[in-house]
Amino acid sequence: MQLGAFSISLSVRDLGVSVAFYEDLGFARFGGADEQNYVIMKNGEALIGLFQGMFEGNILTFNPGWDQSAKDVNPFEDVRAIKVKLQVAGHAVTQEQGGDSGPASFVVIDPDGNPILIDQHR
């Protein structure tokens, strides 16, 4: 199963303070917008999403169809095919979004309660 780009999405209390901290660790802004309460930061191949007031807890995130620089990867495994494989393996999926093609997403919870977002943007 090819899950695409990996990042961790962190729920933060103060976006500005968190951005400054990760800049001190060598991360640079890669995407997002302060006025939308999120910033994506990158250090080498490592991606961290900082989200203020959008969700509780932290989320592991995979983006089918993208590499670590948010560039298209072809071919790629569609999010709907990944979802079916996980369901056949007996895993419940929640928070499904999207139609029959294009952007779509879902969440699966690992055995320790960690949410994993599979989020396809194309």
Q: What angle do CA 100, 65, 113 make, to 5 degrees?
A: 80
Q: Which pLDDT does position 122 carry in this prediction? A: 94
Give residue 104's pLDDT band: very low, low, confident or very high (50, 70, 90).
very high
Distance CA 109, CA 117 (A): 9
- Across the range 37-64, mean pLDDT stands at 96
**CATH superfamily, domain at 5-120:** 2,3-Dihydroxybiphenyl 1,2-Dioxygenase, domain 1 (3.10.180.10)
Q: How far apart are CA 9 and CA 16, in angstroms?
A: 16
Please state, rounded to an integer, the average pLDDT across all residues of the chain: 96
Per residue in 19-45, pLDDT (tens digit) is 999 999 999 999 999 999 999 999 999
Q: Which residues pair with 60 in a beta bridge?
A: 8, 116
